[in-house]
């Protein structure tokens, strides 16, 4: 017998659930639970719009005054902010796609686009950093005169713009890698702009133009350091890795400790999107199927304890060595 229970838990306004059961001829059973959590599409749609508008306007101002003041630090910051606008557009687009209902072709929906957006954002940011670093190294050889006060005033506007943008995403930074990417970009930009403000003031007071390319290299170092974690996590999710927020050994031990369970094998956990995690596992229960209510309790506990929204549990009375299931050994 096989029980399929679909429970859609949406953070946005609409939610629905339906269940149906089928009987199969084979001796073991599969239990499915689908819980979809989409925080970003509803909660952060307006935040993405405001942040994109604010940053796009500021990029135009920063490019103009960076060129006029002959400041690589300002142009570097403008280039970085432009990449952030693109990052925000990608993240927002992915969040909108994640709202789409599953289809026959995309049975999990399009939530995986949020993983691709996070990965693309990290890669674009690293490419921009490479270009900024190269220009800064060239400037170190022959520092150009910089209008320090203009640099400071424009960068001060950047502190405000990026600070407000970061605040818009602060609420979702722990729950969604996509939103966290946006938050980290904006928070880093606010700190970087503050550094540019101080650099401009020092150049204005001392005439040390070499500080301009030096601070550009410092900006690159800070951004690369902040982006590396985002890149690593998004690559892991893109390769169906276990999300960093979940300890697979802890999940396995917890399942093994459940009443009637003698062993757990073929355990797989992966991110379907940046907010939605799936699990499949074979539970060896020599006493037979514990009943639908007991399996539902396991699924509910997986949701509450580990934030695994979609779980598929196969109950077996003995370990069945099936080539189709033994992809890796748990």
Task: Determine which of 43-52, 65-74, 218-227, 262-271 has the lowest per-residue pLDDT on average.
Answer: 65-74
What is the reported pLDDT for 320? 67
Which DSSP state fits 145? P
List, in sequence order, the alpha helices (H) in the chain: 39-43, 45-69, 72-97, 113-141, 148-169, 177-206, 211-238, 248-256, 292-306
Residue of 190, 136, 181 whose CA lies nearest to 163: 190
As a whole number, mean pLDDT of residues 292-317 equals: 92
Contacts of 79 (CB under 8 A, 6+ apart): 128, 131, 132
What is the reported pLDDT for 323? 54
| pLDDT above 50: residue 85 | yes
As a whole number, mean pLDDT of residues 253-278 equals: 92
Which of the two residues, 49 and 135, has the higher pLDDT score?
49
Q: Is 254 helix (H, G, I), strand (E, B) or coil?
A: helix
Distance CA 233, CA 239 (A): 10
Which DSSP state fits 244? T
| pLDDT above 80: residue 271 | yes
As a whole number, mean pLDDT of residues 267-289 equals: 92
Provide the mean pLDDT of the chain: 79
| Superfamily holding 43-238 | Cation efflux protein transmembrane domain (1.20.1510.10)
pTM over 0.85: no
What is the reported pLDDT for 101? 87
What is the reported pLDDT for 208? 82
What is the reported pLDDT for 12? 39
As a whole number, mean pLDDT of residues 75-94 equals: 80
pLDDT bin (cut points 50, 70, 90) of residue 11 is very low
What is the reported pLDDT for 10? 40
pLDDT bin (cut points 50, 70, 90) of residue 29 is very low
From the number of C-beta atoms within 10 Å of its C-beta (0-12, 13-18, 19+), residue 288 rates as exposed
As a whole number, mean pLDDT of residues 77-102 equals: 82
Distance CA 330, CA 326 (A): 9
Task: Give CA angle at 32 (31, 35), nearest 5°.
Answer: 145
What is the reported pLDDT for 282? 94
Residue of 305, 316, 257, 261 whose CA lies nearest to 279: 305
| pLDDT above 70: residue 31 | no
Distance CA 264, CA 281 (A): 7
What is the reported pLDDT for 256? 94
**How do the domains of the chain map onto residue ranges?**
2-20+27-36+243-316, 43-238
- Percentage of the residues of the chain whose pLDDT score is greater than 70: 82
What is the reported pLDDT for 27? 39
Residue of 292, 317, 237 whose CA lies nearest to 269: 237
What is the reported pLDDT for 83? 75
As a whole number, mean pLDDT of residues 68-81 equals: 75
| pLDDT above 60: residue 4 | no
pLDDT bin (cut points 50, 70, 90) of residue 197 is confident
- The yes/no answer on whether domain 2-20+27-36+243-316 falls in CATH 3.30.70.1350 is yes
The answer to whether the beta carbons of residues 317 and 284 sit under 8 Å apart is yes
What is the reported pLDDT for 43? 58
As a whole number, mean pLDDT of residues 230-238 equals: 90
Contacts of 30 (CB under 8 A, 6+ apart): 2, 3, 4, 312, 313, 314
| pLDDT above 80: residue 30 | no
pLDDT bin (cut points 50, 70, 90) of residue 322 is low
């Amino acid at each position: 017998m096989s029980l399929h229970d679909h429970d859609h838990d949406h953070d946005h306004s609409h939610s629905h659930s339906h269940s149906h059961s089928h009987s199969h001829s084979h001796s073991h059973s599969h239990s499915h639970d689908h819980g979809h959590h989409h925080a970003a599409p509803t909660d952060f749609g307006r935040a993405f719009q405001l942040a994109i508008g604010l940053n796009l306007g500021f990029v135009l101002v920063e490019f103009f005054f960076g060129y006029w003041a002959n400041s690589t630090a300002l142009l570097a910051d403008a280039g970085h902010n432009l990449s952030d606008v693109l990052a925000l557009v990608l993240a927002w687009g992915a969040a909108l796609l994640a709202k789409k209902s599953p289809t026959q072709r995309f049975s999990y929906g399009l939530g995986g686009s949020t993983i691709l957006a996070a990965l693309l954002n990290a890669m674009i940011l690293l490419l921009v950093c490479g270009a900024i670093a190269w220009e800064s190294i060239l400037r170190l050889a022959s520092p150009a005169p910089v209008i320090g006060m203009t640099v400071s005033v424009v960068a001060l506007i950047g502190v405000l713009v990026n600070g407000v943008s970061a605040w818009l995403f602060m609420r979702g930074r722990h729950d969604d890698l996509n939103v966290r990417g946006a938050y980290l970009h904006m928070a880093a930009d606010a700190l970087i702009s503050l550094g540019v403000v101080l650099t401009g003031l020092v150049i204005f007071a001392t005439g040390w133009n070499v500080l301009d390319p030096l601070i550009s290299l410092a900006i690159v170092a800070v951004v690369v350091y902040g982006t590396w974690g985002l890149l690593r996590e998004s690559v892991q999710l893109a390769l169906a890795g276990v999300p960093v927020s979940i300890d697979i050994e802890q999940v396995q031990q917890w399942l093994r400790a459940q009443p009637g369970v003698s062993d757990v094998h073929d355990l797989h956990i992966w991110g379907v999107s940046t907010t939605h995690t799936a699990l499949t596992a074979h539970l060896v229960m020599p006493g037979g199927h514990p009943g639908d209510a007991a399996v539902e309790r396991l699924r509910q506990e997986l949701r509450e304890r580990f934030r695994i929204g979609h779980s598929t549990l196969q109950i077996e009375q003995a370990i069945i060595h099936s080539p189709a299931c033994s992809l890796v050994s748990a």
